[in-house]
Structures are given as structure tokens and as C-alpha cells.
Structure 1
Amino acid sequence: MHGPAHNPAHNPADPGALTRARAVAAAVVDPELPMLTLHDLGVLRDVALGDDGAVVAAITPTYSGCPAMATMRDDLLHELHAAGFADARVRVVLEPAWTTDWITPAGRAALADAGISPPGRAPRHAGPVPLRLGPPRRAVRCPRCGADDVEVTSEFGATACRALYRCGSCLEPFDHVKEI
């Protein structure tokens, strides 16, 4: 007989089930930055067992309206189901809002290894956020040669969370993950 009651990966009485579910969810890659897992990107907030024994993964969007959220949810569910967790859900957590400060050190290294400049510290604001009409000042280094002689060529890259830069030393273009 098949089903959740006979599948040790889904048995809520199995003490290792939650550990396995967390490992499966943590290994799911981001659809827009596939060198990062959802864990390394910092969008995977929690994996728990619900009162009904279901695996519940919590994710936070990188920004409001992020088009990758549906794919992240679908990929999480697919991987959890493939690992034997037939009863799995994904819940979206909006508070606190995601910040690039949640990207792990391993995630930052993976970005740089892929030729993408990782973000610096996210700006902190108390009260209203000031409106600035020019590009923000960022401490950006070329991920290829390490030079800080860089210029922004576009505030908008392949995704809304990236800006395009060009290195003045090696002349190579590169993406930079914007600080949020």
C-alpha cells in the first residue's frame, strides 16, 4: 500500500523527517540566479511540520511583485514531493521584508564566482524613504578583476534586482545585485 502513512519520508512520527525536508527545501535553486539556493538567497525562511503532519515551507519575496515567486513555490513543492513528502505546502511571509543582508556568505561567494557583483550592506531608513532621482551610490567592485573603477551603465539588468556595470580596468560588463 502507498500513501503518506506508509512513507517514512512523510511520517510525522519520524524524527528525521523534518531534517530531511529542510535539507530538500534548502537545496532548491533560485530560478533567476541559479547559482544560489533559496537558502543562500535568504528567501527560504522556515520549514516546519504543520499540526496535520504536512511539510510547510515559508518563503519571502525579494521584492513586492517578484515574478519568480510562483516558480520558487512550484520548485519547492516539486522537490518536496519527489523526496516523498506528498503533503507539502508553501506559505508566503511578507514581514519582515526580505533584505539582501540575508544572502549568506556562501551565496555572496557564488554570485562573485558567477561574475555577478554581490550586494553591499542594505541601506537603513528610519521614517520616510528619501526620493533620489539619480542612481544610488554603491560600493561596487568588479567581480572579475576586483577593481573599484566601475561605472553603472543601466539601473535595470536582466531582473529588477540587478543593475548593469562596466569595469574601467578590465572593460568587462557585469551585473550587480542591488542592495535592498
Structure 2
Amino acid sequence: MVSAVREIVAAVQDPELPVVTIEQLGILRDVRVDDTGAVTVDITPTYSGCPAMDAIRADIAAALARNGVDDVEVRTVLAPAWTTDWITPDGRAALEEHGIAPPGPAHGTVTTLTLSVRCPHCGSPDTRELARFGSTACKALWVCRACQEPFDHVKAL
């Protein structure tokens, strides 16, 4: 039963990055089912003030309700804090495929310096940051000097 419930929850799309699921983004932490059938889902926001968490909780509850599971608690777990290392390889590929530059690995607690971000459209490293905040607070707006296309870049956290 746990694997079936986890599969349902894992398929929930991120509302701010709908090209990836909450599992691919690394937000989904744990799914538990107790002896009575009650489900507990643990999620971690990409940053503590993420406004999408309410929508994600509602989407998880709705997905489970569509599959006959009504006794659901969705808990926000802040520790350990989310890191871009939790984005799955297929999540990184989906972001790039849809014109969003995925972050490089965060390498645990080591902060890396990003000198350039590769353009997800043409692959050029000749890019520059236009704005620290893009369409959401967890993304920055960049532009490629080679193909002139703007793109979002998921910030490394």
C-alpha cells in the first residue's frame, strides 16, 4: 500500500515548475501509511518562505482523494534544509528540456561560485544574469548572449 500511495504523491507536479514533479524536485521526503490506512506525507520547501507549499499540500490531498485516500496529513519538514542536490537527474533533464537551466550540484554545505550558466536553448556558456529574481523567488532571470534567448535558472541553495 505504501508504494502505491507514494507513486500517487510522487506524480504531483510542482505548481511553480510544472515540468517536474515534487519527487523530481526533491520536495517529497517521506510517505507513511499506518495500520488504519491514514497517510502522512513529509515535504520540504525549496526555501522556508516558499509560497507554493499550500498549493502543494492541497494538490497532494486532492491526488490522494481522487484515489480513495481521504485521511491525509501533509507535514512540512524543514530539517535538513532542501538542497539542489536533491533534484533527481531526470528532474534536471526535464528542467533543461523546458528551457530552465538546472542548478549545478550544491555539494552539501560547500557553496559553489557560478561563473556562468549554460543556456538551456543553445548550450552556450556566454550568458549573464538579468535579474536575481525570475518568475518565482527560487529562480533568477538570465539571458544568453549567443542566441539572445532569456531563460530562468533555478538558484543553487
Alpha-carbon distance between aligned partners in 1 of 2:137 and 2:60, rounded to the nearest angstrom: 22
Q: Normalised by the size of structure 1, how large is the TM-score?
A: 0.82
* Match of residue 41 from structure 2: 57
The alignment's C-alpha RMSD in Å is 1.6
Tell me the alpha carbon deviations over residues 119-146 of structure 1, each in whole angstroms, 9 at most, x when there is no partner: 01226547xx9xxxxxx63441000000
1:77 and 2:61 matched: yes
1:117 and 2:101 matched: yes
SS in 2 for 1:62: coil
Alpha-carbon distance between aligned partners in 1 of 2:37 and 2:132, rounded to the nearest angstrom: 45
Tell me the alpha carbon deviations over residues 86-117 of structure 1, each in whole angstroms, 9 at most, x when there is no partner: 21111111110001110000100000111000
CA-CA distance at 1:55 after TM superposition: 0.9
The one-letter code sitting in structure 2 at the alignment partner of 1:144 is H
CA-CA distance at 1:65 after TM superposition: 1.1
CA-CA distance at 1:52 after TM superposition: 4.0
Q: Gapped runs of 5+ residues in structure 1?
A: 1-16, 130-135
SS in 1 for 2:51: coil
Are the aligned partners of 1:157 and 1:164 in contact in 2 as well (CA < 8 Å)?
Answer: yes
Aligned partner (choices 132, 144, 149) of residue 167 of structure 1? 144
CA-CA distance at 1:178 after TM superposition: 0.5
Alpha-carbon distance between aligned partners in 2 of 1:167 and 1:70, rounded to the nearest angstrom: 34
Runs of 4 or more, structure 1, over 6 Å off, are none
CA-CA distance at 1:155 after TM superposition: 0.7
1:156 and 2:133 matched: yes
* Match of residue 145 from structure 1: 122
Alpha-carbon distance between aligned partners in 1 of 2:62 and 2:109, rounded to the nearest angstrom: 38
Equivalences, count: 156
* Match of residue 23 from structure 1: 7
Alpha-carbon distance between aligned partners in 2 of 1:53 and 1:107, rounded to the nearest angstrom: 30
CA-CA distance at 1:50 after TM superposition: 2.9
CA-CA distance at 1:179 after TM superposition: 0.2
1:177 and 2:122 matched: no
* Match of residue 19 from structure 2: 35
Task: Report which of the two structures shows the higher radius of gyration computed on alpha carbons.
Answer: 1
